[in-house]
């Protein structure tokens, strides 16, 4: 578990006001990433990160991470399970890596595959990617929404964080409780859609990428993956036991990739 925060301002002067809030958030979210703390400002974009080291424990894995040659910057929470396969393909296509991290594989995939890069990622993730050359910022979340990503957006600023509560650090932003969503939570045990407990805060949906064009200050949302797209029209399935067994084995193999010790919790559920 890592922690990410980003503040983007339409007017660069507003960035100076955001900086102390980002610093406070990084201090407060130390429990999400005790191994490293990083912050970087590029023009009107501030990105902050708290790191829990899992892959490539060296300082080369610190974030925010940058591809200076291509003007790319990222803060990332999660793990890309197939980053080794991606790395091999990207190297074959001429991309040069500086680290052994899965984070850098995201930057490489974005540069090489373009708009299709999210479809190449297999893992659990939430990240903010800044393409300085194209003047765009991307907020992306994994297919099933395992990693959270919350944001506030208005005519002047975009504020992003791993947890809702940290957005209170931006004191100039008005936040109010959405009581209908609170009632929905008690009835359903979750808040439907992209809504949250706060009227002004939304969350990135599973399998969604939100793109902000810094030149026009307009957003565009793309759902790059949906469960329904991978279900046949027939409710019956032709998948056999052996195929299911292999998929489970493959899934476990992917999740055993780490540069630290791994623990496994086996649970048979709860008896009623």
Beta carbons of 121 and 82 less than 8 angstroms apart: yes
Strands 157-161 and 3-9: antiparallel
**Known catalytic residue: 2?**
yes
- How many C-beta neighbours within 10 Å does residue 23 have? 16
CA atoms within 13 A on the CB side of 198: 18
Rounded-to-10 torsion of CA 43, 5, 53, 62: 10
Does residue 4 contact residue 161 with C-beta atoms inside 8 Å? yes
Q: Which of 2, 140, 161, 209 is catalytic?
A: 2
* Burial tier of 80 (Cβ tally within 10 Å: 0-12, 13-18, 19+): buried
Peptide bond into 64 cis (omega under 30): yes
CB of 122 closer than 8 Å to CB of 80: yes
Please answer whether residues 35 and 192 qualify as being in contact, where contact means their C-beta atoms are separated by less than 8 angstroms: no
Q: Cα(16)–Cα(152) distance, rounded to whole angstroms?
A: 18
Structure tokens given for 254: 């992917």
> Among all residues, which ones are annotated catalytic?
2
């Amino acid at each position: 578990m890592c922690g990410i925060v980003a503040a983007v301002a339409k007017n660069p002067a507003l960035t100076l006001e955001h900086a102390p809030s980002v610093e406070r958030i990084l201090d407060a979210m130390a429990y999400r990433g005790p191994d490293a703390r990083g912050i970087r400002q590029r023009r009107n974009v501030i990105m902050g990160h708290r790191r829990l080291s899992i892959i490539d424990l060296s300082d080369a894995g610190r974030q925010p991470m940058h591809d200076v040659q291509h003007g790319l910057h990222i803060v990332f929470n999660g793990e890309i399970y197939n980053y080794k396969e991606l790395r091999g393909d990207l190297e074959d296509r001429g991309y040069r890596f500086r680290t052994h991290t899965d984070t850098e594989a995201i930057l490489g995939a974005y540069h090489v595959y373009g708009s299709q890069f999210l479809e190449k990622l297999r893992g659990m993730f939430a990240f903010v990617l800044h393409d300085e050359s194209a003047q765009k910022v991307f907020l992306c979340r994994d297919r099933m929404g395992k990693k959270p990503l919350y944001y506030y957006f208005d005519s002047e600023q975009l504020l992003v964080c791993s947890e809702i509560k940290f957005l209170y650090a931006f004191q100039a932003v008005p936040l109010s409780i959405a009581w209908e969503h609170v009632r929905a939570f008690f009835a359903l045990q979750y808040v439907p859609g992209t809504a949250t407990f706060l009227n002004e805060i939304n969350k990135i949906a599973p399998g969604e990428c939100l793109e902000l064009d810094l030149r026009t200050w307009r957003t565009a949302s793309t759902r790059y993956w949906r469960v329904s797209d991978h279900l046949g029209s027939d409710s019956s399935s032709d998948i056999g036991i052996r195929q299911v067994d292999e998929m489970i084995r493959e899934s476990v193999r992917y999740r055993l990739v780490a540069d630290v010790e791994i623990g496994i919790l086996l649970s048979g559920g709860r008896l009623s």
